[in-house]
Amino acid sequence: MVTQLTGQPTTDDDIVHLTVPADGGYLSVLRTATAGLAARLQFALDEIEDLRIAVDEACAMLLAIAARDAELDCRFSVTEDALTVEVTVPTMPDARLPAESSFAWKVLTALTTSAGARAADGRATISLLTRRASGW
């Protein structure tokens, strides 16, 4: 049993894990997976599009600091009313994520319920949480 950012327990069946090369050409795979999982949760169309854009922006931030020949590791955690997306990449030495006051972070926080980042041990992770606004 794993507890996600939502504070709700999930099981391994509620987690989708994708790994793609850290190359912009593969981001469409992650955007499509995001849309599919959000649709499964019955997110509204505008919520799905907002989440797709947020995942794309988070990945773009990580690609800018990714180590050569790195892979993007994307973990989707599904609960009854929320989708958490965590994207991780190995980084170049001394790489830094954009400041939380940057335009990119403004986009992430405007399009999701919450967004956060951490960098440690040569890896950077951006976490996005989106709760479904509409009822069933």
d(CA 62, CA 47): 23
The 10s digit of each residue's pLDDT in 71-99 is: 999 999 999 889 999 999 999 988 888 88
Computed over every residue of the chain, the mean pLDDT equals 88
Strand partners, 119: 124
- Whether residue 1 has pLDDT greater than 70: no
Residue 13's pLDDT is: 55
d(CA 62, CA 97): 7
